[in-house]
């Protein structure tokens, strides 16, 4: 056991534990058992710490070997070997300070071990004086959140591109299958099944483009601005060096914020990104609902397409198979829309130089991004790619509807065609005969 102390007293920690007193207090204070802080965010914070340490090595500052041990410790964390040490709940007060300190303490203790010292020997490597040198939670955390968001956005954008291609393939495959169009769930002008899928491809193409474009706004980071964006305690050479290193490490074209105070306190960019995710969620829901309806049946529904059966559907009705993948997509989309509200609420509650509710923004945004990233892959591979058309059913429904009469309205006038439909009680064969007679 080791004992760590702060102004509030002492905490006992097992020797193998790499986090320190501040993390231990936060673990206890925020033990709401919601969920742990996202490892995506933790890794992005570690990248910021590594870039800072590399900058200090380059500038030749600090005690001999300390920053080298810190960068080695960062590499160990980034390889996934210390995941269990990040123990602070995502639902936390303190604007992310506990998460930043959890990272600072784990890096410091790992670096101490790598240097042949014991955990807690902070006179040699200190979580704040060394690992957090020239930094504050308020510049590290928002910078890391931007990096994590961009990494996920890139994956999601690629996923959307593939989903778009899958819809385009279906557009070509179903190009010559005529079917009923529907407006307000009622028979409307005939279309092709291909064009139904072509419209989905267009919507997802728009999502993909929006997600691609928004990255450039996220690339402005406030690292080096420290607590309120004025760069207190951050050396000028470090400030420029750390962004260069981060750019190299992440392969993201990060740039120093033109006005770091703004970036430190205002979070509208996350509302913007979430808004785009909401637009994607809305499209996915609309498409999934169409697919469920077109697949409905097998006997009592529309049945124009067939989804591949993924699992048995019922514990009581033998043979029933449900459209489980679109149902999952719809619920994931609902969650993204709910998260958007949380992000909007949190972003609107910032006061003066900082928004204390950034942890909720971070958790909700990264959850939405990861959820959508997986959702579009599963939707594509387990649903869209496997869809088959029932062209006979499409034709049967088309031919049993008088929706085709729209073609006659220009020649005969709307009122006359309506009268023919009414006089023949909507009977399609009689309507066709009556219209033929008019044409003669």
Ligand X SMILES: O=C(O)C[C@H](O)C(=O)O
- Measured from the CB atom, the residue of 138 and 274 that comes closer to ligand X is 138
| Least CB distance to ligand X at residue 145 (A) | 13
The Cα–Cα gap between 338 and 237 comes to 42
Per CB under 6 A, the segment of 14-22, 56-64, 134-142, 164-172 that binds ligand X is 134-142
Give the x-and-dash track for 203-242 against ligand X (CB under 6 A): ------------------------x---------------
- Measured from the CB atom, the residue of 226 and 364 that comes closer to ligand X is 226
- Measured from the CB atom, the residue of 131 and 332 that comes closer to ligand X is 131
Among residues 17, 18, 95, 389, which is the contact residue for ligand X, using CB under 6 A? 95
Site size with ligand X, rule: CB under 6 A: 8
The per-type count for the chain, helices as H runs and strands as E runs, is 15, 8
DSSP-based three-state secondary structure for 77? helix
**Unique residue bearing structure tokens 């020239």:** 134
- Measured from the CB atom, the residue of 30 and 174 that comes closer to ligand X is 30
The Cα–Cα gap between 125 and 66 comes to 7
**HEC assignment per residue over 303-319:** CCEECCCCCCCCCCCCC
Give the x-and-dash track for 337-356 against ligand X (CB under 6 A): -----------------x--
How many other C-beta atoms can be found within 10 angstroms of the C-beta atom of residue 302?
A: 18
The Cα–Cα gap between 440 and 431 comes to 15
The Cα–Cα gap between 84 and 79 comes to 13
Is residue 250 at the binding interface for ligand X, with CB under 6 A as the rule? no
* Sign of the alpha-carbon torsion through 93, 94, 99, 103: negative
> Which of 31, 314, 348, 400 is an active site residue?
314
| Least CB distance to ligand X at residue 8 (A) | 16
Please list, in sequence order, all residues whose beta carbon lies within 8 angstroms of the beta carbon of residue 167, skipping any fewer than 6 positions away.
Answer: 197, 198, 200, 201, 204, 384
Is residue 98 at the binding interface for ligand X, with CB under 6 A as the rule? no
Is residue 136 at the binding interface for ligand X, with CB under 6 A as the rule? yes
314 is an active site residue = yes
| Least CB distance to ligand X at residue 225 (A) | 11
**Unique residue bearing structure tokens 């490490």:** 249
**HEC assignment per residue over 409-425:** HHHHCHHHHHHHHHHCC
| Least CB distance to ligand X at residue 354 (A) | 5
> Could you list the residues that contact ligand X (CB under 6 A)?
95, 97, 100, 136-138, 227, 354
Catalytic residues: 314
């Amino acid at each position: 056991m080791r004992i760590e102390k702060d102004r509030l007293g002492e905490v006992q920690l097992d020797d193998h534990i790499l986090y320190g007193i501040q993390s231990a207090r936060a673990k206890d204070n925020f033990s709401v058992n919601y969920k742990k802080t996202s490892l995506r965010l933790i890794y992005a914070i570690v990248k910021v710490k590594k870039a800072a340490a590399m900058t200090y090595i380059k500038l030749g500052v600090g005690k001999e070997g300390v920053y080298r041990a810190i960068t080695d410790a960062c590499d160990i964390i980034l390889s996934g070997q210390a995941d269990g040490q990040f123990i602070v709940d995502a639902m936390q007060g303190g604007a992310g300070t506990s998460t930043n300190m959890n990272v600072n303490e784990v890096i410091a203790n790992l670096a101490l071990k790598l240097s042949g010292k014991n955990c807690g020997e902070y006179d040699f490597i200190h979580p704040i004086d060394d690992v957090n040198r020239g930094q504050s939670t308020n510049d590290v955390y928002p910078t890391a959140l931007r990096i994590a968001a961009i990494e996920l956005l890139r994956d999601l954008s690629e996923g959307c591109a593939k989903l778009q291609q899958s819809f385009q393939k279906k557009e070509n495959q179903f190009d010559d299958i005529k079917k009923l169009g529907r407006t307000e769930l009622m028979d409307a002008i005939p279309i092709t099944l291909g064009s139904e899928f072509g419209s989905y491809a267009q919507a997802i193409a728009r999502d993909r483009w929006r997600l691609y474009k928004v990255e450039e706004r996220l690339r402005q980071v406030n690292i080096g601005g420290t607590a309120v964006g004025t760069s207190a305690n951050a050396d000028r050479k470090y400030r420029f060096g750390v962004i260069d290193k981060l750019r190299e490490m992440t392969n993201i074209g990060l740039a120093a914020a033109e006005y770091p105070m703004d970036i430190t306190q205002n979070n509208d960019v996350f509302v913007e990104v979430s808004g785009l995710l909401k637009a994607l969620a809305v499209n996915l829901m609309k498409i999934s609902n169409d697919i469920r309806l077109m697949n409905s049946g097998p006997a009592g529904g529309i049945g124009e397409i067939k989804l591949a059966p993924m699992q048995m559907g019922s514990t009581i009705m033998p043979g029933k198979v449900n459209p489980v993948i679109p149902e999952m997509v719809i619920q994931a989309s609902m969650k993204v829309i709910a998260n958007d509200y949380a992000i909007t609420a949190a972003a609107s509650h910032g006061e003066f130089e900082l928004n204390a509710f950034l942890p909720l923004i971070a958790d909700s945004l990264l959850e939405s991004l990861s959820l959508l990233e997986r959702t579009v892959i599963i939707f594509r591979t387990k649903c869209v790619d496997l869809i088959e058309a029932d062209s006979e059913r499409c034709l049967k429904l088309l031919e049993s509807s008088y929706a085709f009469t729209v073609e006659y309205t220009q020649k005969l006038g709307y009122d006359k065609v309506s009268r023919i439909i009414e006089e023949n009680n909507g009977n399609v064969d009689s309507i066709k005969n009556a219209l033929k007679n008019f044409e003669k």
